[in-house]
Amino acid sequence: MSELAPGSDRARPPGTVRISSYLLYLTAAIAVVSMAVSFSTIGAVREVYSDAFADVEMGESVDTFVVGGIIVIGVLTLLVAIGLVVLSFLNLRGKNVARIITWVLGGVYLLCCGGLSLAGASGFGGASSTDGGPDPAEIERQLDAALPDWYGPVNVVLQVIPILAVLVALILLALPASNEWFKPKAATWEPPTPGYPVMPGSSYPTPQFPQQAGEPPLPPAPPVPGSEPPETPAPPVPGSEPPETPAPPR
């Protein structure tokens, strides 16, 4: 059974568009989970950096900087997740503008968001490069000891799966089957529906029924109060020929 065009009674997106939207939904869900996992480690990360930079000048602001970076990345991740959900919904409705925005946002996600996630997962070890600061390798060792054992493997999975899902989703939206779905629908002409005539002074149409053969003619409608009376035909002039009577329909 062939897929119907958008706007028809039984319109259904092709498989490429549906799978692409499902992958974007999956990416959005994983993004929310990744944000929750990152926020769950804020306490341990703050403690490690606070202890590591306790004897360094201005070191008390390092842990605040690191935690602030994790929060910013989490907020950006949540915004990306919301955008992917909205774009997936619009793609299923055949909005070509949404497909173009999906390509742009997906490309930004692949190029930038993956790197930001990796930076957040590493605990912003670059912050330890301050002159006179502790050894970055020592901070990484302390982070590994402070974070749960499951954090490393789970974090890797939460980074790799969305990247692959977004990449496949963007490719599916560029296939010929998807192009047919996003083509604008041609306007169809519909014949006008005949209506009923409206009585003078009334906003509602008055139904008119066809007269059956052999029935006397219907009396004219009474005049509406306040309206001018209908014109009365002039009487025939004496000696003139009577008006022609139209032939009855056969």
Q: What is the pTM of this model?
A: 0.63
Rounded Cα distance between 93 and 99, Å, is 10
Which of residues 180 and 57 earns the better pLDDT score? 180
Nearest 5 degrees, angle CA 164-CA 169-CA 173? 150
- Kindly report the average pLDDT of the chain as a whole number: 76
Question: Within a 13 Å sphere around the CA of 45, how many CA atoms are in the beta-carbon half?
Answer: 25
Q: Does residue 130 surpass a pLDDT of 50?
A: no
Each residue's pLDDT tens digit, 25-60: 999 999 999 889 988 888 888 888 877 777 776 666
Rounded Cα distance between 43 and 48, Å, is 9
Token pair for 75:
């907020």
Rounded Cα distance between 182 and 120, Å, is 37
Are 5 and 185 in contact by the 8 Å Cβ rule? The answer is yes
Tell me what the mean pLDDT of segment 106-132 comes to. Answer: 59
Q: How high is the pLDDT of residue 125? A: 47
Question: Minimum mean pLDDT among 20-24, 37-41, 167-171: which range?
Answer: 37-41
Are 20 and 172 in contact by the 8 Å Cβ rule? The answer is yes
Which of residues 37 and 198 earns the better pLDDT score? 37
Rounded Cα distance between 99 and 107, Å, is 12
Domain ranges of the chain: 19-180
Q: Does residue 162 surpass a pLDDT of 60?
A: yes
Token pair for 14:
């092709």
Does residue 205 sit in helix, strand or coil?
A: strand
- 110 falls in which pLDDT band (50, 70, 90)? confident
